[in-house]
Amino acid sequence: MDKRLSITDLKGMKKRGERIPMFTAYDYPTARLVEQAGIPLILVGDTLGMVVLGYETTVPVTMDEMLHHIKAVVRGTRRAHVIADMPFMSYQAGSSDALANAGRMLKEGGAQSVKLEGGVRVAETVRLIVDAGIPVMGHIGLTPQSVNQLGGYKVQGKTPAAAVKLLNDAIALEQAGAYAIVLECVPAQLSQAITDRLNIPTIGIGAGPHCDGQVQVFHDLLGLFMDFLPKHARRYATVGDTIVEAVRAYANDVVEGRFPTADESFLVGKTVLSEVTPHA
């Protein structure tokens, strides 16, 4: 049986100076492909609300929606460490709700750890979840669930006070027991300072090259959204164009009578055919 990457393995990667690639997946076939590519960490992000379900933000995503996708990703993997994003209001309302919902991510979803947004303000919640035996990845900087409060998707930590706050948030999460922290849309120099200060890995997204690892969204890197590419992403393929071309070719073949042919059809012998063919 294949052994999944553990949080101990992840911390060891930081100590050895090994860069950590992390990627999102939201369904069974995608998870299989991502793992086959050698990705050790797979995040089932609440970004699925935007890239899979068509919401304008991640705020509407529910626990049931997250669990549905987490189960599919877990079924599609054997070695990768699967991280489940805790959706908006699954942990903010109180410690008992937070613990119960985090437990569902592992017990029902099959994930190996959970991720939640916030620093100092959620540190005690993180501690409670970790003390219950559930590994927690933190997330600071641009926290999409707080987009309405932040006034949009903006780089964080651009003033001295904001930079100090982010550093304090990171330290608070480490002290609370988080095994890693995502830094999103944080200036590269600040990300480097935070990474150097912590004993746990940092995973960057729009946070420069100095984090211990990087995470990106599947649909951004593969060009599944052709009209927009975030500044922090690099397009490695244009799968969206390929899909459109393939589907258009199929539709044209159907219209012109080129599909299906005998190669895609099933045939029977004359004896069978004689039973259903009108006799003269």
Among all residues, which ones are annotated catalytic?
Answer: 184
Residue 25 and residue 31 in contact, taking contact as beta carbons nearer than 8 Å: yes
20 in Cβ contact with 204 (< 8 Å): no
The token pair that represents 127 in the structure block: 């501690």
- The DSSP result for 215-254, as a single string, is EE-HHHHTTSSTT---TT------HHHHHHHHHHHHHHHH
Q: Is 200 helix (H, G, I), strand (E, B) or coil?
A: coil
CA distance 78 to 42: 11
With residue 173 as reference, give the H or E element that holds it.
Answer: helix 160-176
Q: Among positive and negative, which fits the CA dihedral 127, 132, 136, 140?
A: negative
